[in-house]
Amino acid sequence: MRSPTVDFAHGTPYDEYVGTDVLHTLLRPRTDVPEEPAFLVTTQVMELYFGLIRAELRLAVRRLDEDDVTAATVVLRRVTRYLEVLNVAWSALGALTPPQFNAFRDSLGEGSGFQSAMYRHVEFLLGNKSEPLTRPHRGSPEHYRELLEALRAPSLYDAVLALLSRHGHPIPAETLARDRAEPYTPSPVVEAAWVRVYTEHGPGDELWELAETLTDMSERFSEWRYRHLMSVRRTMGAKIGTGGSSGAGWLERSMRREVFPELWSARTAM
């Protein structure tokens, strides 16, 4: 049995590859409250996953544009797994009691997860478009420019509907040619297309597999929002959020903006 290599001229290859020295310097709590590091690390991990999800959703859009449905579905299944990890991450924050959170909450100042540019990218890619939500980033020109590009670009769902059209489903022309920066309006014709995908096909068909993967991903994303809401309610009740929003009330309204809406309404029509 071979022993692992233990002699290195400099840092270990693991530390160099992962960048552990940089990662651990990012843990900079602003108070001595023992619960603050858990809050900070969990938030940082979420940010890293948002960046990963953005990259994967962009890749899925490219694969759909190339008509490679199978490859796009594989990518979206990975995204579903990443969302599962994010959902578990809320357990660490949800365990904070109000006194524990309040002990370091003031150190956040006006900082709020609402201001995450990377999360906003994810929402835009999933089809939740809103120009006002780009405005907090006007003071960061690069972030603002990228968000405006994402706002105006086709979302993942736009790419899916274009794919359905190329596969012979009668997606309305006004849906395909709509202003991408505007919120999506559900269509009964799109709903009928999903009903047809489910009733005329089954497991193994690439459009059926895509539909089920999108539904899984939508469900995990809704769970993430719900876990966020419940974490806020447990730690701060109905207080105004640090970023100035109504806190839990804002999150409750956000949960009503469903992604891939016709995939859900089609189930009633089947």
Binding-site residue numbers are: 105, 228, 242
CA–CA distance, 139 with 260 (Å, rounded to integer) = 32
Q: 231-258 burial, b if ≥16 CB within 10 A, otherwise e?
A: bbebbbeeeebbbeeebbebbeeeeebb
> Residues annotated in the binding site for heme, as ranges?
228
User: What single-letter DSSP state applies at residue 27?
Assistant: -
| Cβ burial, residue 78 (10 Å; 0-12/13-18/19+) | middle
Q: Which of 149, 176, 258 is nearest to 214 (CA)?
A: 258
Tokens of 9: 């001229």
CA–CA distance, 264 with 171 (Å, rounded to integer) = 17
> Residues annotated in the binding site for substrate, as ranges?
105, 242
If one counts every other C-beta atom within 10 angstroms of the C-beta of residue 83, the result is 22
CB 212 within 8 A of CB 202: no
Helices (H), the chain: 13-18, 20-25, 36-65, 69-94, 98-105, 117-126, 141-152, 156-166, 173-176, 188-200, 206-236, 248-254, 261-269
